[in-house]
Chain A
Amino acid sequence: MTTASKQAPLLQVEDLTVQFPTPDGLITVVDRVSFTLDANRVLCIVGESGSGKSVTALSLVGLVQSRGGRISAGSVRFAGEELVGRAEKSLNTVRGRDIGFIFQEPMSSLNPAFTVGDQIAEVVRRHRKASRRHAWARAVEMLDRVGIASAAQRAKDYPHHFSGGMRQRVMIALALACDPKLLIADEPTTALDVTIQARTLELLKTLQREQDMGVLFITHDLGVVADIADDVVVMYASQVVEQAPVRELFRRPQHPYTAGLLAAMPQSALENNTPLVGIPGVVPQPHRLPSGCRFHPRCAHAQPGRCTTDPIQLRLLDRGLVRCVRAEELRDPSAAQAEPAPIEGVTAQ
């Protein structure tokens, strides 16, 4: 590590842009995304399906190329060191040792042909140059840490011997076995039942504090964000549309999409005893993005011209960033209420 790593943020992403070739032409699925994550903090990326969350996460550690994608611009610095453009071999060392990764598709990172103990021990041996015996001991210790009962015994079991919730904890053990400084977790609890999710989140929070990790946590559930995040990045149609510390984001969402997501949650309707408010329309496809503000066909506050012509820039507002030209005006509830219906040609789909 260089001396710069002492002051540099744990993870600094700048203008990250990822493209995929498709039959419809080159599509940009991550569009100049920037954020910073410090050690010992939890940053959540939240957004609906297809907004670019997983591709963002995968591209941070060089895993989009193998999926046909390309980082066409931007920089990813881990503890001050640039990762974009690094050779696969050196990235491989960083992955698993300094950066743990929990994938959205759980089975893709567990090999059905090996016991879970062997899989964890193998990672420890490779990255930590530990002896076979020490690596196995570490595997058992990690399984115990994530709450697998009789860990020494269970380490000898194969992945299919575990329930979905336990498998998720095995994956956490695998990702954290080498004491990474950064954990990237892509929807680690989405496939789980709520009671198991609650327990897994508690576990992740505890481990994060104990190991002083930075965590990049990806989810589509704002409830989970409220539970775990320090800072939040909201993505819509490949772009960051809002970024703020968690309390500010929930207390006063600055972007109409964030506010819409919050109002669309059944919990919000129940808490406030109000009707459920939907967001009309659907998320646009990357090859058919609307002009102007990408959210304008669904936005109740869209104004022809101002919102529909030129791309909207992400800008600083109070303690956060927002990509909406009307953010200040919309704070005044009377202005926001006197809105006409969404502009022409737009109906609920």
Chain B
Amino acid sequence: MTTTSESRVPKLRVEDLEVTFDVGRGRKLHAVDGVSFHVDEGETLGLVGESGSGKSTTGMAVLRLAEPTSGRVYLGDTEVTGLRSRQLRPLRKRMQIVFQDPYSSLDPSMTIGQQLDEPLKVHTSLSKAERRARVDEALDTVKLSRRYTSRYPNEFSGGQRQRIAIARAMILDPELVVCDEPVSALDVSTQSQIVNLLLGIQEQSRTSFLFIAHDLAVVRLVSARTAVMYLGQLVETGPSARVYDAPAHPYTAALNSAIPIPDPDRQRTRDRIVLGGDQPSPLTPPSGCRFRTRCPFAMEVCAEEAPPQYPIDGGGYAACHLHTHGPQLRGASVLPLIHGDHLTTPLVSR
């Protein structure tokens, strides 16, 4: 960075992260393959992509809950990837995670009060009374009654447990919270409560969030910026409104058009990209662009060269040859291609 302002240093920096799993018989699975991004202080970055694209592994690697094979992760000035395991402990205070499954992430044998008190006991020197006050405060933040401290997780509904998990993640006032599909397991009425709760917390705290979800609509609501992941790589990033309204990568456009609009007339008449093909195995990703086996716009070059990150009008980048080859979009949205008649093969179903 060449800017002078210190505050411009992002809270989280991930550079060229790779996570490889050994899956036996000498085979390696590249779950995360060269991913770079940053999250500013107080900012929420949404990370979307379909099942198996490597979202959770990315989140876990940031926290060193999965071991990165290569690449660097920085929290502020601390290089997380350089720390030995016993140096990780102070870091736990600064980074937290909320998981999808509120049932398994809480300890069934501990009361809510004990679970919220535990991190305070381990990481702070607060007195018992002070800790008690912090627990009450945390429950207030997630809009749960202070009386719940003596109850056990099994007495709570899925949404309430997710509130408790959020309270526990926030109680040490962390610098970064990774939320791994925190609302995916919830019903829509409960999901909306939790989304609104997270929006409230974002406004009041300086905490940065990495918000992982497969639901682009939820991500757009809670994240200022969005990164789209496909088969271990980021294919597009940018301000959420831009990514949503003017996607510059065909996969993002397909994801968008696959979210049904709750209006029968519009849903049934809109242009949609229905992707053919199946998700390729992450063990044998396609050459060149990994999306090419399902991409309606795939060109010859797509099989030969991995597409470079091309800057997009309105912010962010897309890794797609369409910006430099074929229609040469040069940073514009792919939507006109989908609506238009530039291509000979039928792409969209009505």
Contacts and interface: CB of A to CB of B under 8 A. Distances in A.
Given A195-B254, A247-B265, A261 B274 contact: no
B190 interface: yes
Interface in B228-265: 244, 254-255, 257-265
A198 B188 contact: no
A200 to B, nearest CB: 10
Interface string B275-304: 110110000000000000000000000000
Interface string B66-96: 0000000000000000000000000000000
B261 A198 contact: no
B2 interface: no
A346 interface: no
Contacts of B215: 194, 266
Given A193-B279, A198-B258, A267-B259, 9 more contacts: A165-B279, A194-B216, A195-B258, A202-B274, A226-B263, A226-B268, A266-B221, A267-B262, A278-B192
B225 interface: no
Contacts of B187: 48-49, 220, 283
Contacts of A107: none
Interface of A: 48-49, 163-166, 193-199, 202, 220-224, 226-227, 229, 246-247, 250, 260-262, 264-271, 275-280, 282-283, 298, 348-349
Contacts of B214: 193-194
A223 B264 contact: no
B108 to A, nearest CB: 19
B306 interface: no
Contacts, number: 137
A87 B230 CA distance: 51
B157 interface: yes
Interface of B: 50-51, 143, 157, 159-160, 187-193, 195-196, 199, 214-218, 220-221, 244, 254-255, 257-265, 267-268, 272, 274-276, 278-279, 349
A16 B276 CA distance: 41
A274 B218 CA distance: 14
Nearest to B265: A247
Contacts of A227: 260, 264, 267-268
Interface of chain B: mostly helix, strand, loop or mixed: helix
Given A226-B264, A277-B192, A163 B259 contact: no
Given A193-B50, A278-B196, A266 B263 contact: no
Nearest to B185: A49
A262 B188 CA distance: 9
A266 B218 contact: yes
A265 B188 contact: yes
Closest 3 interchain pairs by CB? A223-B260, A279-B189, A278-B192
Contact of B221 (A224, A269, A282): A269
A194 B267 contact: no
9 contacts: A164-B51, A166-B278, A199-B276, A220-B188, A264-B189, A267-B261, A276-B192, A282-B190, A348-B193
Contacts of A279: 189, 192-193
